[in-house]
């Protein structure tokens, strides 16, 4: 998916994660969004297309009540005016920075453009070292200047905070800013690199333009002075520095005798040839490489913006995609040695609906009698999960409860993830206020099942609030399926 679609998907994830209590966006809303998105994109669509369409539906519905959410979802990561403004400022700085003073003398060893050349060479070396150091890494760490530009881009893209929104949406906004900044960092690095390279080009063009514009109205004189270098040393140095400009313009670099004549306290000579040499050198050393680097950064930026690498392997996305691919989630429930009360059965259905973000069809198998070890047959249809259900009222026994759970886990292997749930509803009512008694019973179950490599989930299924319960079941399903 592209950057805009990914931004909407990450925003919706932040909203649905922050609104764990379903105060703003309930289970029915989430099921509706998944169903309509599936109908819109069709069964042959890609995962990215489904997630993007679902996010658009969520943003549209919530945004109809809270327009700020639409603004947040559609916010651009960089304003279109940013690059032109930065380039214009860099050009002006370059043009003004070559002001050589009222004497109109260019010191060949210390002109502003020489500092410009030196700085760019240092940057190229730093980029090369960084590229070599990060050759075995996915993404190299940006340098201090690029980090500052990235922070600037992030601040420009950051939504207005402290706005009048319901608490879940305020939490979602903060979560989104943090998550999107982390996910979009590779894209922002390329965007910052492009901006910095273009600014360097503009600075260099401005420096050249400043020299030539001033040279039309004023006569610049070229000379040099040095405490430690003689004419031969200066000739050698300039022969290296201005070699690219000499190659491009075919203007020979003066030898030591000529440099001796314009050195010291002499009046120097007309600086036009030297300006041509420096300008051509800037073109080859600064402008051309920086344009190439800007083009490379721009290509990488466009590629990431068009095919944004959203981490859909994360549990939140896996549940949404599972619900889309499977439609109604089919779950086999196997109660052992107790009749499941209606309230607990309904509570389990609510928990599973929230876990799978889809309609859930619970296939309740006949209660397995105490002491029996036969595993009921599973339906032939694809299963999303198998649930083994015990009651905390019972005292866990290795040869009965644990043996049955282990047999079901083995039978379900390769077909569906199996989760063992211990319903604490009735036991919690019987011993309300006696937390140590409840904890001791849970620990006994946990210890015995752990010997068989099984980690149970303890749920009060007849409770009305299933937020924490759904999270616990989802976590176990993901760990078992991994």
102-114 as b/e: b if 16+ CB within 10 A: eeebbebbebbbb
- Per-residue confidence (pLDDT) for residue 115, from 0 to 100: 86
The answer to whether residue 142 scores a pLDDT higher than 70 is: no
DSSP strand E in 336-375: where? 360-364
Q: Would you give the distance in Å from CA 93 to the centre of its chain?
A: 34
- Per-residue confidence (pLDDT) for residue 68, from 0 to 100: 82
Between β-strands 418-423 and 457-459, what pairing exists: parallel, antiparallel or unpaired?
parallel
The answer to whether residue 164 scores a pLDDT higher than 70 is: no
pTM metric for this prediction: 0.72
- Band (pLDDT 50/70/90 cuts) for residue 448 is very high
Best-predicted range by mean pLDDT among 1-5, 163-167, 219-223? 1-5
Contact indicator for 169, 69 with CB cutoff of 8 Å: yes
pLDDT tens-place string over residues 128-141: 988 887 765 555 55
User: In the chain, helix, strand, coil percent, each to 5?
Assistant: 60, 10, 30
Contact indicator for 357, 389 with CB cutoff of 8 Å: no
- Band (pLDDT 50/70/90 cuts) for residue 225 is confident
- The helix-helix angle for 3-18 and 167-183 (nearest 10°) equals 140
Domains in the chain: ranges and CATH:
3-75 (no CATH), 82-306 (no CATH), 328-481 (3.40.50)
- Band (pLDDT 50/70/90 cuts) for residue 162 is very low
- Band (pLDDT 50/70/90 cuts) for residue 151 is low
Between β-strands 269-270 and 418-423, what pairing exists: parallel, antiparallel or unpaired?
unpaired
Query: What are the start-end ranges of the H helices in 283-314?
Result: 288-306
The answer to whether residue 5 scores a pLDDT higher than 50 is: yes
CB atoms within 10 A of CB 8: 26
pLDDT tens-place string over residues 397-432: 999 999 999 999 999 887 888 999 999 999 999 998
Q: What are phi and psi of 335, to 5 degrees?
A: -75, 145
The answer to whether residue 209 scores a pLDDT higher than 80 is: yes
Is 83 or 391 the better-scoring residue by pLDDT?
Answer: 391
Contact indicator for 281, 245 with CB cutoff of 8 Å: yes
Query: What percentage of residues in the chain have a pLDDT greater than 90?
Result: 46
Can you tell me the mean pLDDT for 358-381?
Answer: 84
pLDDT tens-place string over residues 90-109: 999 998 887 665 667 788 88
For 419, the 3-state DSSP assignment is strand
- State both tokens at 119: 């700085």
How far, CA to CA in Å, does 164 sit from each of 1, 12, 157?
A: 31, 19, 19
- State both tokens at 116: 């410009």
**Nearest to 144, CA basis, from 130, 158, 128, 159:** 130
Query: Which residues face 106 on adjacent strands?
Result: 222
Average pLDDT over all residues of the chain? 85
């Amino acid at each position: 998916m592209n950057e805009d679609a990914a931004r909407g998907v990450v925003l919706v994830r932040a909203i649905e994660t922050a609104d764990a209590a379903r105060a703003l966006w309930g289970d029915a809303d989430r099921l509706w969004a998944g169903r309509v998105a599936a109908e819109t994109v069709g069964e042959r669509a890609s995962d990215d297309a489904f997630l993007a369409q679902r996010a658009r539906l969520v943003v549209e519905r919530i945004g109809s009540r809270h327009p700020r959410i639409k603004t947040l979802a559609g916010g651009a990561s960089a304003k279109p005016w940013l690059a032109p403004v930065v380039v214009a400022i860099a050009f002006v700085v370059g043009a003004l920075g070559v002001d050589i003073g009222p004497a109109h003398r260019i010191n060949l060893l210390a002109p502003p453009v020489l500092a410009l050349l030196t700085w760019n060479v240092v940057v190229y070396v730093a980029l090369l070292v960084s590229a070599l150091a990060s050759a075995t890494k996915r993404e190299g760490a940006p340098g201090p200047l690029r980090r500052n530009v990235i922070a600037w881009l992030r601040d420009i893209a950051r939504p207005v905070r402290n706005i009048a929104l319901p608490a879940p949406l305020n939490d979602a906004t903060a979560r989104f800013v943090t998550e999107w900044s982390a996910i979009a960092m590779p894209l922002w690095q390329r965007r910052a690199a492009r901006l910095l390279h273009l600014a360097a080009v503009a600075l260099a063009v401005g420096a050249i333009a400043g020299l030539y514009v001033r040279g039309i109205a004023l006569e610049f004189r070229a000379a040099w002075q040095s405490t430690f270098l003689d004419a031969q040393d200066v000739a050698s140095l300039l022969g290296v520095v201005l070699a690219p400009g000499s190659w491009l313009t075919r203007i020979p670099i003066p030898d030591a005798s000529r440099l001796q004549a314009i050195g010291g306290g002499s009046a120097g000579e007309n600086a036009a040839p030297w300006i041509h040499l420096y300008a051509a050198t800037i073109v080859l050393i600064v402008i051309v490489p920086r344009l190439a680097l800007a083009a490379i950064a721009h290509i990488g930026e466009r590629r990431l913006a068009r095919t944004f690498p959203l981490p859909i392997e994360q549990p939140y996305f896996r549940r949404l995609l599972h619900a889309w691919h499977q439609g109604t989630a089919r779950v086999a429930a196997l109660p052992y040695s107790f009749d499941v009360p209606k309230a607990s059965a309904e509570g389990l259905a609510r928990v599973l609906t929230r876990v799978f973000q889809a309609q859930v069809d619970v296939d309740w198998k006949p209660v397995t009698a105490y002491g029996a070890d036969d595993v009921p047959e599973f339906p032939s249809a694809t299963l999303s999960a198998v649930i083994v259900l015990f009651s905390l009222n019972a005292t866990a026994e290795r040869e009965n409860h644990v043996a049955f759970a282990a047999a079901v886990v083995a039978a379900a292997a390769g077909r569906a993830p199996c989760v063992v749930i211990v319903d604490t509803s009735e036991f919690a009512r019987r011993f309300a206020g006696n937390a140590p008694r409840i904890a001791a019973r849970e620990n006994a179950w946990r210890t015995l099942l752990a010997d068989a490599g099984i980690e149970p989930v303890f749920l009060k299924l007849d409770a009305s609030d299933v937020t924490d319960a759904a999270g616990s079941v989802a976590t176990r399903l993901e760990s078992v399926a991994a």
